[in-house]
Structure 1
Amino acid sequence: MKSARYYDRGDIRIEDIPEPPLQPGTVSIDVAYCGICGTDLHEYLDGPIFIPRAGHPHPVSGEAAPITIGHEMSGVVSAVGAGVDDLSPGDRVVVEPYILRPGVDTSAQNNAYHLSPDMNFIGLAGRGGGLAEKIVVERRWVHPIGDIPLDQAALIEPLAVAYHAFERSGAKAGDVALVGGAGPIGLLTAAVLTAEGLRVAITELSPLRRQKALDTGVAQHVIDPSQQDVAAEVRRITDGRGADVAFEATSVDVVLDTLLDAVRPQGVVVNISIWGHPATVDMQKLVLKEIDLRGTIAYVNSHPAAIALVRDGRVDLAPFITDVIGLDDLIDKGFDTLIHRNETAVKILVDPRKASAARPATA
């Protein structure tokens, strides 16, 4: 089968590899779509980060580069292994792409399994990936989606990231939130916050992404930081108080600094983004306003809630899909666009069975 294989920084190759074998307790999935994630871009530009370097296998997966990448995937069950009796061929599913040590409690009662030692991700540390025609995944990590369209379902994984960030923030309906960056995660975070009853502002340089925030209705206030003082504008729309909570979704120092200025005293700033460089934090701002700066990584028991937001019509994912490409176009039309012309795209999906030439998106 055809797959995208990560060898090293700047070196991803489209290769034919054997199909993964079905094992007891696993589910074989024909991949329908896989999103290109910001983490994939960080690996390509700055990595390896999560991907184990060649010759240094991951302690749980036992794999190292080259590995098949892609972790934002949707697909259709093609077969189930022995012991799997609650899914059937033909079921539409998404993957919660974790690699964890054997014995880690992954039940709904454990809200910290994503923080267990040596945690990593399918499509980053091995065990296949969504940028391939087929993947085999342990049953625990497979979530049925019902009749959600498969292209939209490929955005469930980043939506779960956004939902977990919302949970980490402690925000509630009626609060005012500021989102730094209207890229895919920023927009999806704004979508979750709006669905949960918050009043949302987004700060974003790109006019196309600002317009996407307005067109999708995920933010009530969209701020151009090149023309406006973001903190002053947030104070204006909050009667001088400042935002209750802010979300950093850019891995840009000046954005993080702006969020510290814009939140109210004792406000919360949640960092969602993966940083390819050490961040600079003005600790005096943190101290004098007693700001809580919180990290968030991925998701934990978040996929069912994210799926419900889409299934119930509270979040519409279709407008965020700006292109669908074939696997052969991954670098030229996918990575290159998102790295050099990222203001022109939100989420680019890959159809692993489409050899080349983009087809019209659903947006």
Structure 2
Amino acid sequence: MKAAHIYGVKDIQVKEAEVPALLPGTVKVKVSYAGICGSDMHEYLAGLYPIRKQPVLGHEFSGVVTEIGEGVTRVKVGDRVAVEPLIPCGRCANCRRGMANLCTNSQGYGYTLSGGFAEYAVVREENAFILPDSMPLELGALVEPTAVAVHAVRQSQLNLGDSVAVFGAGPIGLLLLQAVKAAGAGQIFVVEVSEERREKALELGATHAMNPVEVDAVKRIREMTNGGVDVAFDAAGVQATFESGIYAVRPGGEFKIISLWEKPVTFNPSVIVKTEAKISGSYAYNNLFPEVIQLLASGRIDGHAVITSMIALDDIVEQGFEQLTKDRKQCKILVDMNK
């Protein structure tokens, strides 16, 4: 089969790979769509993660089951599925605490096992989630990043009617915006440099969208909320948004970090001491795919709104990764495996 392999910084090659073996308890999926994630971009621009054990990329993907292994009972040939990439061990302390997303011995499709930027993927039956007939397969590739956003909102201290700031309006930021809106947020501020992304944020329900180059976004947010938002989310991962997020939160509020970071940041901890605000992280998701599938299928979260391009696998470098590095109008780029 043809697949995209990553070997280092700016070194992705589309070439032949072996189709993974169909084992008992697994299903073979003919991949339909796979999304380029921010974590994929991190490896492309900054180097491979230590967890990578094989080169075939792709952990946001959907497709059609073409073959089932011995012992598979829930999934059948012809089912349209979204694939959850995380494979927790089920035995470590975090798994036993119910935090499988923080498993210390986890594996994952697209990292330790062959991923979705390939014609075929073989996945465990429990990692294949059947999509409703009415749900397009391209939205199946949005389930994974949407789960990241929904988990962040669920992990936060957001309450009905609370004010929220989202820093960064890329795919995760726009999905976060929709997730906080679905959770009942009141005022929703989006801070983003790109005009196209700010416009999209307003279309999707942001009450305010600000360009931090043109206005003092933190000052404006604090003025409009009587001292700061209840919860701020960082979906950009740079020094400027980290600082802004901390100062945009009211005393006792929460600054929730979802983004991955290529560089460390610096800040004065006294800011947090004096306000008793909280800085917390959110990683991946935990048993959320069924709920997220329903949110996307029902339109409560509009996955189509974040898709800006669909490209062929052969074009994944130039029209995918390279395009995302230089074109701020791009948001979520999907690889259409049928192109």
By the TM > 0.5 criterion, same fold?
yes
Q: Identify if the C-alpha distance between structure 1 residues 104 and 23 changes in structure 2 by more than 3 Å, giving closer, same or farther.
A: farther
2:67 equivalent in structure 1: 79
- In the alignment, what sits opposite 1:13? 13
8 Å contact from structure 2 (residues 90, 100) kept in 1: no
1:261 is aligned, of 247, 267, 274, to: 247
> 1:285 aligns to what SS in structure 2?
helix
Deviation for aligned residue 1:139: 1.4
Match for residue 281 of structure 2? Answer: 295
Looking at structure 2, the residues matched to 36 and 50 of structure 1 have their Cα atoms a distance apart, in angstroms, of 19
CA distance in 1: counterparts of 2:123 and 2:107, whole angstroms: 14
Where do 5+ consecutive residues of structure 1 fail to align?
53-63, 355-363
1:306-354: per-residue Cα shift (whole Å, max 9, x none)? 112112321111121111000110000000010122x121100001242
Show structure 2 runs of 5+ residues with no match: none
- RMSD over aligned CA atoms reads 1.8
Instruction: Give CA deviations for 1:223-246 in whole Å, capped at 9, x if unaligned.
Output: 1111222122212332x1310001
Structure 2 residue 339 is matched with structure 1 residue 351: no
Q: 1:255–1:40: structure 2 CA closer, same or farther, 3 Å change rule? A: same
Count of residue pairs the alignment pairs up = 337
TM-score normalised by the chain length of structure 1: 0.89
Q: Hey, what's the Cα distance between the residues in 2 that align with 1:70 and 1:348?
A: 12
Query: SS at 1:344's partner residue?
Result: coil
Q: Is the 8 A contact 2:60 2:145 kept in 1?
A: yes
* Alpha-carbon distance, 1:111 to partner: 3.1
1:169 matched to which residue of 2? 156
Q: TM (normalized to structure 2)? A: 0.95
Note the alpha carbon deviations across 1:136-160, whole angstroms, 9 max, x for none: 1111211112121111221110000
**2:85 match:** 97
Pairwise CA distance, 1:90: 1.2
Could you tell me the percent identity over the aligned residues? Answer: 40
Q: Which amino acid aligns with 2:279?
A: L
Match of 2:190 among 202, 205, 208: 202
Note the C-alpha offset of 1:214. 1.5
> More deviation in 192-201 or 276-285?
276-285
Residues 1:30 and 2:18 aligned together = no
Structure 1 stretch 177-186 or stretch 227-236: which is displaced more? 227-236
Matches within 5 A, 1:151-166: 151-166=138-153
Deviation at 1:106? 10
Matching residue's letter, 1:214: L
Q: Structure 1 residues 137, 247: CA separation in 2 closer, same or farther (over 3 Å shift)? A: same
One-letter amino acid matched to 1:237: M
Deviation at 1:81, TM superposition (A): 1.3
Instruction: Name the CA shift for 1:163/1:220 in 2 (closer, same or farther; >3 Å).
Output: same
| Change over 3 Å in CA distance of 1:270–1:102 after alignment to 2 | closer
- Counterparts of 1:228 and 1:159 in 2: how far apart (Å)? 30
Would the aligned equivalents of 1:111 and 1:301 in 2 still touch at CA under 8 Å?
Answer: no
Pairing of 1:316-327 with structure 2 (within 5 A):
316-327=302-313
Distance of 1:50 and 1:78 partners within structure 2:
32
Can you list the C-alpha shifts for 1:1-41, whole angstroms capped at 9, x where unaligned?
10001112221110111212211111111110000001001
State the alpha-carbon separation in 2 of the partners of residues 51 and 196 from structure 1: 34
Q: Matches of 2:33 and 2:59 in 1, distance apart?
A: 10
Q: Which residue identity is paired with 2:293?
A: I
2:169 to 182, 185, 189: 182
The question of whether the paired residues in 1 share the 8 Å contact of 2:94 and 2:104 is answered with no
* Separation in structure 1 between the aligned mates of residue 300 and residue 277 of structure 2, nearest angstrom: 31
- Structure 1 range deviating more: 135-144 or 29-38: 135-144
> Structure 2 CA distance, aligned partners of 1:247 and 1:315?
18
Q: Is the 8 A contact 2:94 2:102 kept in 1?
A: no
| Residue 231 (1) aligns with residue 218 (2) | yes
